[in-house]
Amino acid sequence: MSYLFDYLSSLFSSKPRLTPAELQAAFRSHYKEFRALLTANNNALELMAEMEQVVSAGHSFGMSFIRGHCTALSVNIFKMVQHLNKLSDGKYARLDETFRDVAMKLEQVIANRPVTTEGALILSMGEIDVSMVDQVGEKMANLGEVKNRIGLRTPEGFVITAVASLSFIKANDLQVEINRRLKGLDLNNLEELYTVSAGIQGLISSAPLPAALEELILYHHHQLVTGPDSCELLVALRSSAIGEDSSNVSFAGQYRTQLNVSREVVGQAYKEIVAGKYKSQATVYRKQRGFRDQDVHMCVGCLLMVDAVVSGVMYTRGPDDPRSNFVLILAAPGLASNVVDGSAATEQFKVSRTSPHGILESGFGANHVGSEGASSPSTLTVMQAAELAEVGVRLEGHFGVPQDVEWSIDRAGLLYILQSRPLGDTKKEVLPPRRDSSATDDLPAPLLAGGVCASSGVGYGQVFKVRTTLDLLRFPMGAVLVVETPYPDWASLLDRAAAVISETGQVAAHLATVAREFGIPAIFGLKQAMTILENESHITVDATAGKVYSDEVEALMMLAPPKPNLMVGSPVHKTLLAALEYITPLNLTDPTSPYFRPDACQTLHDITRFCHEKAMVQMFTFGERYGFDDKAAKQLVVDAPSQWWVIDLDNGFTPDFDPESRYVQLDHIASVPMLAIWEGMMAFPWEGPPPVSLGGFGAIIFQSTRNTNIDPAVRSVLTAKNYFLVSKNFCNLSVRLGYHFAMVEAYLSDMRTESYVSFNFKGGAADDRRKVARIQLLVDILGHFGFRVERKGDSMTARVEKRSVQYLTERLKILGYLSVHTRQIDMVMDNHDSICHYKEKFSTEINALLGIQKMA
């Protein structure tokens, strides 16, 4: 920022003069470009900040967010480059080329991947392994691996590939219509979501299959029933979306599976499973997990039905503890779907991971409705449990991570693996912190207790019982979802729910898997929940302890862990990170460096920085280039320390001001932002430099000799001139007080899109620790008053934009106050008491300045 002072001195050198009218016209033209550049600069910085914020905040966003922001950013930076070249008479034409180069790279990052419609329409299970995930989806690729590489038994079958579903959609020209219906869909409007979702599914289900595809499906179906298991006539059609079942992203139960499908309806069942991509909960889930619609392709596995006697789910480690030394098996008579849809009574087995895989523990879960005291027959024999555990450990060994396995045992006692996917690893993120017993000693008596912890954590909200689709549409944001059965269909409510309670179900239910992923506390199998809990009553759900309390229990809520960032690792998240590589890194940090030039800009942030710096230089060298009148800078006549000079850019002085005068009274200042800053500066007398101990002062002198950022000329002039550049609505104040530099800049307009206040602060003479402490103090205070603050080492920037003139005027008063009162306090920022003292003092005085009773 030292250029300001270098160039301000040149304002007053003798140059050929323009007539006053010419000068004013030239200046107005420059000022117009300058102002437009600043507006574009503000917009660009705001867009960058929004993009960085979504990366870290974990809010869901889609490709439209990325495309929209990258486009808006490019447009604003294009404008900056144009304005800068107008200000500098084309001096930086090279910048245009640099900008186009960066913008082109950015476009490549966010461009849609071409979707291929070439390749096999159908692949037999015998020819599939994990390398074919882009053709058959993750579920079927994993199953092929289980069959062909691990050598375990899986149902015979084939997969209708992604190429087939794309061909089907393309043959009916459905994608344009689907995109049109999805465009602008508000996922928070549940009624709209369900209507659009049902409409798209209807569109797909009613479209005819291409004849070649239909024939091929029937041919493979025929091959199956005449194959080794010719007695079987029914098949199961299972969705296997690309992107489904990867670690940390389960899509559990979000898509469709159809069981017992006969030859006559296999084509229709296939279309319905393809249509299942647009089920409402799947649409919401994709958005929340950062999957782009066009990246998810529906492959469908067509597998012979297993005539199951007993089925279930197996976790090769405890879902709550990835280091546990047992395999957890949940088993129920019949099909595996009874277990994962949460409707069946399941028996739970903990089986040793080591041979001979003995049963460590077993028992029926909360769903079991046997007669009191009666012992139920076991669903699995000791041998079967041991076989399952052995298979589980093999699967984990092969895939390298704990697995979540669906299985069935048929009438012949043969074990079939139906699915094996990574056991979600979000659990470690959502595990509650260690319970401090003192925090929970004085808890009230619970309303309800029991069930199983399907997803740990603590949540608070009003009770909302869901029985029907109509209830589902009315589900309020932040409520506790209370249901009888944990159907996967309720998953679309999980981003709105504070917690889930179900009267039935257990940890293997799909809804439990999704709840764990989303970090939503859930208790399943909590009997009488639907009866005892009343709609609209407020409750605290401690899922970890399996207890429900009336009202908010603060001691428990303090233990609630933050929600996991579900977007991390998703395709959209990765795309945004890749795009940000061309956007946010700032390589041009030193304007005095020989590398501060257009061809050194590597990112849009570099170009923004370059344009802003050079535009400032253009404005401040206006006098040098056009023969600025040496009387332009007027000394402010005030009873205040330091010298203050004001340069009127455009209507910054009142009309009755004498332009020949070398001095200006405060009464003649018409600049609204300058007056606000001044009010803040003068509201409380500056008490002078804080007293510093001899040791502290010695350290500061030592630092001042070492700190290369401190300009020697400035170091010797502690009372340097300070300049206000003003117009009626604009003010740029550069303050160099002692060893620190502060710049306040503002444009106040009734047009919110143009209005902003920015503040830069850097330097100090103390050592880094104390300078950083002062910066932190500023960050805390400005953050509290609504500034968006960015801090780097001992410098910081704070911005606030697009707010009312009154709001921004108040912020300027705060900045005026801080510009004066933070000078030299870095010298005493060496202990906690001192920091607290200044924080309290500044807060109190700013509140008084703004007429606020008390800082929250």
Contact residues for other proteins, defined by CB under 8 A: 32, 64, 67-68, 70-72, 74-75, 78-79, 82, 100, 103-104, 106-107, 110, 183-184, 751-754
C-alpha span between 844 and 129 (Å, rounded): 68
Which residues have CB under 8 Å from 31's CB, separation 6+?
619, 649, 650, 727
CB of 67 to other proteins, least distance (A): 5
Q: Which residue has the tokens 């009997």?
A: 527
- What's the min distance (Å) between Cβ of 577 and other proteins? 17
**Shortest Cβ 368–other proteins spacing (Å):** 52
Q: Does residue 601 contact residue 607 with C-beta atoms inside 8 Å?
A: yes
Q: Shortest Cβ distance from residue 79 to other proteins (Å)?
A: 7
Rank residues 376 and 753 by Cβ distance to other proteins and give the closer one: 753
Q: Which is nearer to other proteins, 77 or 796 (CB)?
A: 77
Using the minimum distance from each CB to other proteins, give the nearer residue, 752 or 784. Answer: 752
Min. distance of Cβ 74 from other proteins in angstroms? 5
Our CB check for other proteins shows the closer of 74 and 575 to be: 74
| Lookup: tokens for 751 | 């047009």
Contact call for residues 607 and 620 (beta carbons, < 8 A): no
Q: Rounded to the nearest whole angstrom, what is the least distance from the CB of residue 63 to other proteins in the complex?
A: 10
Assigned token pair, 745: 């800049």
The residue among 743 and 808 lying less far from other proteins, judged by its C-beta, is 808
CB of 610 to other proteins, least distance (A): 18
Are residues 146 and 417 in contact, defined by beta-carbon separation less than 8 angstroms?
yes
How far apart are CB 459 and other proteins at their closest, in Å?
32
- Cβ-based nearer residue to other proteins, 15 or 752: 752
Neighbouring CB atoms inside 10 A of 331's CB total: 26
Which residues, in sequence order, are CB contacts of 846 under 8 Å at separation 6+?
Answer: 781, 785, 814, 817, 852, 855
Q: Which is nearer to other proteins, 30 or 813 (CB)?
A: 30
75 or 718, CB closer to other proteins? Answer: 75
Nearer to other proteins (CB atom), residue 67 or residue 574:
67
* Residue 793 token pair: 């080492």
Torsion of CA 140, 145, 146, 150, to 10 degrees: 180
Closest CA to 12 of 519, 632, 481, 675: 632
- Minimum separation from the CB atom of position 545 to other proteins (A): 45
DSSP 730-769: EEEEEEEETTEEEEEEEE--SSGGG-EEEEEEEE-SS-HH
Quote the CA–CA distance of 762 and 797 in Å, as a whole number: 9
Q: How far is the CB of 242 from other proteins (least distance, A)?
A: 25
Q: How far is CA 175 from CA 119, 676, 681, 690, 839, in A?
A: 20, 56, 61, 69, 58
Q: Which is nearer to other proteins, 64 or 223 (CB)?
A: 64
The span from the CA of 645 to the CA of 379, in Å, is 89
Q: Both tokens of residue 425? A: 């690893």
In DSSP terms, 646 is beta-bridged to: 634, 724
What is the smallest separation between the CB atom of 29 and other proteins, expressed in angstroms? 9
CB of 612 to other proteins, least distance (A): 19
Closest to 648 measured CA to CA, from 750, 751, 729: 729
- CB of 441 or CB of 750, closer to other proteins: 750
Up-side HSE of residue 18: CA atoms within 13 Å toward CB? 15
Cα(852)–Cα(374) distance, rounded to whole angstroms? Answer: 69
Task: Give the nearer residue to other proteins in terms of CB position, either 527 or 752.
Answer: 752
Report in angstroms how near the CB of residue 629 gets to other proteins at its nearest: 25
Q: How many other C-beta atoms can be found within 10 angstroms of the C-beta atom of residue 327?
A: 29
Residue 183 CB, shortest distance to other proteins, in Å, is 6
Identify the burial level of 536 via C-beta atoms within 10 angstroms of its C-beta, where 0-12 means exposed, 13-18 middle and 19 or more buried: exposed
Question: From the CB of 36, what's the least distance to other proteins, in Å?
Answer: 9
Q: Tokens representing 688?
A: 């002078």
Reading across the β-sheet that carries 235-241, which strands appear in turn? 122-124, 157-160, 298-304, 235-241, 257-261
Q: In the complex with other proteins, which residue's Cβ is closer, 67 or 563?
A: 67
Nearer to other proteins, 427 or 605 (CB): 605
CA quadruple 14, 16, 17, 22: dihedral sign: negative
Contact 800, 744 (CB under 8 A): no
Rounded CA separation 660/699 (Å) = 47
CB of 287 to other proteins, least distance (A): 16
- Please name the residue that has the structure tokens 């495309």: 67
Nearer to other proteins, 32 or 715 (CB): 32
Helix (H/G/I), strand (E/B), else coil: 276: helix
Q: Cβ of residue 60: shortest distance to other proteins, in angstroms?
A: 17
Q: For other proteins, which is the closer residue by CB, 156 or 606? A: 606
Closest approach, Cβ 89 to other proteins, in A, equals 19
Nearer to other proteins, 292 or 668 (CB): 292
Q: Give the residues across from 723 on adjacent strands.
A: 645, 734
Q: For residues 77 and 380, which CB has a smaller minimum distance to other proteins in the complex?
A: 77
Q: Provide the pairing of β-strand 448-449 with 643-650.
A: unpaired
Task: Give 261: exposed, middle or buried? Use CB within 10 Å, 0-12, 13-18, 19+.
Answer: buried
> Residue 344 contacts by C-beta under 8 Å, 6 or more apart in sequence?
332, 333, 334, 338, 367
Residues with Cβ < 8 Å from 266, sequence gap 6 or more?
217, 218, 221, 235, 237, 302
